[in-house]
């Protein structure tokens, strides 16, 4: 498939030291902005409640309120992301989480770095720098993520693999290597869970094998998966 083809998702592929390919579904700026807005609303709500309570303490209350203001706006995302599986309340609600660029859990240093660098992403106003960076970067990262080596991804719910439809059996036209056989079988098991457009996109990658595009290629891959699984 040509490199300049527009993909239907923004998956980031990471190869682990064990040679396992991880596909991280990177989140775009829209869900991230909604999650940020939810977190902002929560923080403002907490500050308003604190302000009403601390107002009764006079000047001491004002000093405590200033400390709380700093902690809530800066410590809130850092502590939650570092201790709560890379999620804040807003990210949890939107099904997002922060991970390291290699898919590992985000650590304290990365959480601190990406959140402190929000001051750069906010330049010159209204998160303009961060938005421009996320639109240019193929994985939707803002500047803070690039420096911290982090990535915001969608949390995928676990789904059991489905069997390839047993409506065709097709022997591959060429001998397949073990890893190629595994890829075809994996397609047969997982493709039924995907949208037709995504199935066709993946099947087009195997065009040299199927000699077909689109839905025809999908059906031929299903047939080959059935053949490899012994479904005669």
Domain count, the chain: 2
pLDDT in tens, 38-75: 999 999 999 999 888 888 888 888 888 889 898 898 99
The answer to the question of residue 15 being in a domain is no
The answer to the question of residue 13 being in a domain is no
The answer to the question of residue 180 being in a domain is yes
Which pLDDT does position 5 carry in this prediction? 39
Claim to verify: residue 84 and residue 134 sit in the same structural domain: yes
Q: Which residue has the higher pLDDT, 170 or 8?
A: 170
Helical axes 29-54 vs 59-70, angle rounded to 10°: 160
Instruction: Indicate the pLDDT class of residue 134, thresholds 50, 70 and 90.
Output: confident
Domain boundary at 132, 154, 176, which?
154
Which pLDDT does position 10 carry in this prediction? 59
The answer to the question of residue 6 being in a domain is no
Please give the DSSP secondary-structure letter assigned to residue 97: E
Claim to verify: residue 137 and residue 40 sit in the same structural domain: yes
Domain boundary at 118, 136, 154, which?
154
Domain boundary at 119, 154, 189, which?
154
Whether the Cβ atoms of residue 39 and residue 89 lie closer than 8 Å to each other: yes
Claim to verify: residue 42 and residue 123 sit in the same structural domain: yes
Claim to verify: residue 47 and residue 146 sit in the same structural domain: yes
- Does pLDDT of 170 surpass 60? yes
Claim to verify: residue 36 and residue 143 sit in the same structural domain: yes
**Residue ranges making up the domain that contains 196:** 160-232
Bridge partner residues of 169 (DSSP):
none
Claim to verify: residue 131 and residue 164 sit in the same structural domain: no
Claim to verify: residue 188 and residue 133 sit in the same structural domain: no
Whether the Cβ atoms of residue 152 and residue 24 lie closer than 8 Å to each other: no
Claim to verify: residue 199 and residue 96 sit in the same structural domain: no
Whether the Cβ atoms of residue 90 and residue 38 lie closer than 8 Å to each other: yes
CB atoms within 10 A of CB 36: 19
């Amino acid at each position: 498939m040509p490199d300049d083809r527009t993909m239907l998702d923004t998956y980031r592929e990471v190869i682990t030291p064990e040679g396992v390919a991880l596909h991280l579904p990177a989140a775009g700026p829209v869900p991230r902005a909604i999650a940020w807005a939810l977190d902002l609303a929560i923080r403002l709500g907490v500050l308003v409640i604190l302000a009403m309570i601390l107002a009764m303490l006079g000047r001491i209350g004002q000093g405590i309120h200033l400390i709380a203001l700093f902690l809530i706006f800066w410590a809130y995302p850092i502590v939650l992301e570092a201790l709560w599986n890379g999620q804040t309340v807003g990210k949890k609600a939107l099904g997002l989480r922060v991970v390291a660029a290699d898919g590992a859990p985000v650590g304290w240093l990365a959480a601190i770095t990406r959140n402190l660098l929000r001051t750069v992403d906010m330049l010159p106003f209204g998160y303009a720098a961060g938005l421009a960076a996320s639109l240019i970067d193929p994985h939707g990262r803002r500047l803070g993520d690039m420096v911290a080596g982090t990535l915001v991804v969608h949390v995928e719910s676990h789904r059991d693999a489905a069997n390839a439809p047993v409506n065709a059996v097709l022997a591959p036209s060429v001998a397949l290597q073990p890893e190629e056989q595994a890829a075809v079988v994996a397609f047969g098991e997982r493709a039924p869970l995907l949208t037709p457009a995504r199935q066709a996109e993946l099947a087009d990658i195997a065009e040299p094998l199927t000699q077909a595009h689109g839905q025809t290629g999908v059906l031929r891959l299903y047939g080959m998966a059935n053949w490899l699984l012994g479904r005669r």
